[in-house]
Amino acid sequence: MSGAETTTHVIQAGAGHRLRPLLWLSALSLLALGVAVSIGSVTVTPSELLAVLSGEGERLHRTLIFELRLPRALAAFGTGALLALAGALMQVLLRNPLADPFVLGLSGGAAVAALLAMIAGLGAALISASAFAGALLSTLIVFGLAHGTGSWTPVRLLLTGVVMATGWGAIITFLLAISPMEQLPGMLYWLMGDLAYAQRAWPVLCLAVLSLLVVMPLGRTLNVLARGGLAAAALGVAVRPVEWALYLLASLLTAVAVTTAGSIGFVGLMVPHMLRLALGNDQRLVLPASLLAGGILLTLADTLARTLIAPQQLPVGVITAMLGVPGFLLLLYRSR
């Protein structure tokens, strides 16, 4: 009897263990969005915010919140969510906590293509399209080369990606060196990530929700895959198809995120890693938690980026790095 009770207790603890952090993160997400729409050149107090949300409030506040701040906040949230999820997926794929879409050269390809479009004087839409194409092209090159003569290993994929990223970096420097002076600030902002032009939040948000629906049933499979390819195959995982799906999905998520907001580093690397240190390695918890935490981090970072030295704006990538690096190092130091 006591045995059965203990087991039930374990199960309930298991479910609670998985749900509670997600509820907390959801609440924090709403809070972060609330902060993001309240702070700026005109401050909206919490009571005014509640009035606006219930359909009343000042006309100025309504315009400010629904037409200016909310779309940008949601775009930041969605972009952060995509980047963190892509990083979490890449880390399982490569069984390496250092993996992230940026380390693998995806954002480098996107950046080169975007800078070329800027030099050619194309408009914002074409710059985005070009970045998307660049990210996918980089994906194909890395995966094709790593695949090489038949079999690729995680280490080989990681090395190929790192080398490609370095190559892209050199081209980016070259492009910056030969570009006309007046284009440089725009280019640098794009390279550090900038949400000022991200006015359409729905693509990133929809993709974030869709990809979570795709990934959640795979949670247990990813847990097994994280043990290594051979062990996973012996336990019944169709390793190669799952790895292809992971790589393509992570690439797509990165491409869309980069297209929306330029290249923002650190989110994909640090958010999943911090969550793993805090919550353990169950992908069924880490993946949705990454999505939410990535969104929270980028929403808050973007709020800081546009208010710290207002009316000027900072590139949001600077903020994510400045917040993320010390936080990450502290967590890593304390985890030992």
Partner 1 sequence: MAELRANELVVDIPGRASGCALRLSICAGERWGVLGPNGSGKTTLLHTLAGLRSPRSGHVALDGIPLQQLKRRQVAQALGVVFQDSQIGFPATVHETAMIGRYPWLSPWRRESLEDIALAQAALKRLDLEALSERVLATLSGGERQRVGLATVLTQSPHIWLVDEPTNHLDLHHQVAVMRLLTEQANAGCGVIMCLHDLNLAARWCDQILLLYPDGDACWGPRDTMLEPQALERLYGQKLTTAHIDGAPVFVPVA
Binding site for partner 1 (CB under 8 A): 4, 7-8, 10-11, 14, 95, 97, 217-218, 220-221, 223-224, 226-228, 230-231, 233-239, 276, 281-282
What is the nearest approach in angstroms of partner 1 to the Cβ of residue 217? 4
Q: Which residues of 2-19 are buried (b: 16+ CB within 10 A; e: fewer)?
A: eeeeeeeeeeeeeeeebe
Q: Residue 14: how many CA atoms within 13 Å on its side-chain side?
A: 8
CB of 232 to partner 1, least distance (A): 9
Helix ranges restricted to H, 39-153:
46-53, 59-62, 70-93, 106-119, 124-147
- How remote is the C-alpha of 322 from its chain's centroid? 16
8 Å CB contact between 67 and 201:
no
CB 199, min distance to partner 1, A: 37
- Kindly tell me which of 43 and 151 has the beta carbon lying closer to partner 1: 151
Q: Specify the amino acid at residue 132.
A: F
Please state the closest distance from residue 270 (CB atom) to partner 1, in A. 16
The two structure tokens encoding residue 23: 């509820």
CA distances (Å), origin 216, targets 85, 102, 183: 12, 24, 43
Residue (4 or 125) nearer to partner 1, CB = 4
Nearer to partner 1, 218 or 274 (CB): 218
Query: Which of 181, 230 has the CB closer to partner 1?
Result: 230
CB of 239 to partner 1, least distance (A): 8
Question: What b/e readout covers 212-225, taking b as 16+ CB neighbours within 10 angstroms?
Answer: beebeebbebbbbb
Neighbours of 205 (CB within 10 A): 18
CA distance 5 to 34: 43
205 or 250: CB nearest partner 1 = 250
Per-residue tokens: 53: 């949300």
Q: Tell me the C-alpha distance between 135 and 132, whole Å.
A: 5
Q: Rank residues 221 and 320 by Cβ distance to partner 1 and give the closer one.
A: 221
Residue closer to partner 1 by CB (options 172, 232) is 232
- Least CB distance from residue 101 to partner 1, whole Å? 19
Six-digit token pair at 296?
A: 């929270």
Take residue 181 and report the two structure tokens written for it.
């002076």
Shortest gap between Cβ of 281 and partner 1 (angstroms)? 5
Angle at 270 between CA 91 and CA 202, to 5 degrees: 85
Q: For partner 1, which is the closer residue by CB, 10 or 206?
A: 10
**Smallest distance, Å, CB 145 to partner 1?**
23
